[in-house]
Amino acid sequence: MSEEVLFEITKENLETGLRGYPVGYCNTSYVDPVKGLFYAGKPIVDLANKSEEEVIFLLYNGREGSAEEISRFKKDLKERSTLSKALLQQIRALPREGHPMKLFATSLLLAGMFETKYDYREDCLNIIARIPAIVAAVINHHAGCGEGAPSNPELGYMENFVAMLNLPNAKKNVDLVNAMRLFNIVHYDHGGGNLSTFVGKAVASGLEDLYGSLASAICALAGPRHGRANQDCLDFVEHMQKELGESATDVQVEELLRKKLSRNELIFGFGHAVLRVEDARAAIFYDFVQKKYPTHPLVKIALQLRTVGTKVLSENPKISDPYPNVDAISGIALIAAGFPYAEYFTVLFGLSRVVGIARQIVYERYEARGGKGTPIVRPKYFYLGKEDVSG
Ligand code: MLT
């Protein structure tokens, strides 16, 4: 292959979900099949203990900020963080039926109606600053538990988010804030080609404003093959725990997995389109739960699955990635830390991912191709019917 030919398309590549097709450049992050996720060249594991604003600055600017830059950035986000009363009223008037991701996507459209500046850069910073308050309003309203505390950005990005939540059984304490911070930081971005990011950029390529583009991205994230996988993984681990009880041995976990595989049942939380090792984001959560909640019944099963699942799936040569992905453990970490609301896991994923998608849209609209921006997305499809039957 010459240097110019990056990928040769054959028939086998069609109808494969564009798997592995190079379509452009991503300026924020990349996913190495073996080393995992990097934000602006920094491995995700090195970023887990930084503040949310430091990591967002890194993604936004492609470099780490000095102490002074970070403090200015925090101030800027705080100043941008207030939601209009009209937007809050509209979110609180939405129907509460269905999955909360539907309310989330609708709220982004509403935010666009009230707050867009029709400038991707301004809207990007505004939505990063406002998304914690939008999502807290969505969750409180969907759960039917009142308005919650008003936003107080002085608390810090995720601490403010947790303080705004009004869910009766959430154990609001430092551990929950830490679990939420980790969840937020590791989900900001995952290269350019994950479905929600790709969809958001594709919609923006038609020059839809940032809010509408993000609403489409959130719809893409809502599916069980993408963002809702974390909720399904929790269901799977809960089901394993119910079947096996609280003191299951590795052998029993292995037997149940083999039984499920023999019945062609799905095993959740393993494999990834790009990764060929354990997801570095999962490793961060395994470390967190191992230190904090090693005896929690769901954590116990999840830790057993980490090794036993990998062992069993590795026996199948057709499985290219038999290792756990982030969804195998991220939701369980939230449950263990005191957030027993699985239906909001995907919403929390979206709260975070909006950051990376918004920044990638700014790149594609204003910076790509020497500032001209990328053209409207318009791939080719081969027609399968009769070609010309006019006579
Ligand atoms: C993500 O974080 O978006 C998921 O791991 C899916 C992907 O990267 O394709």
95 in the same domain as 213: yes
Residues of the chain with pLDDT under 50: 1
215 in the same domain as 100: yes
| Residue 201 placed within a domain | yes
303 in the same domain as 171: no
Q: Range of 108's domain? A: 79-226+345-371
190 is a catalytic site residue: no
How many domains are there within the chain?
2
The CA 199 to ligand 1 mean position distance, Å, reads 13
| Residue 140 placed within a domain | yes
For residue 190 and ligand 1, the question of a CB distance below 6 A is answered with: yes
| Residue 47 placed within a domain | no
213 in the same domain as 98: yes
272 in the same domain as 170: no
173 in the same domain as 119: yes
272 in the same domain as 193: no
The CA 193 to ligand 1 mean position distance, Å, reads 8
For residue 357 and ligand 1, the question of a CB distance below 6 A is answered with: no
| Residue 36 placed within a domain | no
Q: Are strands 29-32 and 42-43 parallel, antiparallel or unpaired?
A: unpaired
CATH number at residue 287: 1.10.230.10
> What pTM did the predictor assign?
0.96
181 token code pair: 């911070």
310 in the same domain as 264: yes
Q: Are strands 36-39 and 42-43 parallel, antiparallel or unpaired?
A: antiparallel
32 token code pair: 């190495």
How open is the CA angle 102-360-121, to the nearest 5 degrees? 90
Pocket test for ligand 1, best of 226, 275, 351 (most atoms within 8 A of CB): 226
| Residue 356 placed within a domain | yes
Closest CA to 50 of 284, 293, 261: 284
201 in the same domain as 118: yes
Please write the tens of the pLDDT for every residue from 183-206.
999 999 999 999 999 999 999 999
Sign of CA dihedral 132, 47, 220, 22: positive
For residue 281 and ligand 1, the question of a CB distance below 6 A is answered with: no
135 in the same domain as 273: no
**What three-state secondary structure class fits 64?**
coil
> Residue 267's CB: how many other CB atoms inside 10 A?
17
334 token code pair: 């939230």
For residue 217 and ligand 1, the question of a CB distance below 6 A is answered with: no
| Chain-centroid distance, C-alpha 166 | 23
| Residue 83 placed within a domain | yes
265 in the same domain as 212: no
Protein residue closest via CA to atom 6 of ligand 1: 194
Catalytic residue among 226, 232, 279, 321: 226
Q: What share of the chain is helix, strand, coil (3-state, %, to 5)?
A: 55, 5, 40
143 in the same domain as 182: yes
| Residue 46 placed within a domain | no
123 token code pair: 């809207």
Measured distance CA(142)–CA(313) in Å, rounded:
38
**What three-state secondary structure class fits 29?**
strand
Q: What is the CA radius of gyration of the chain?
A: 22
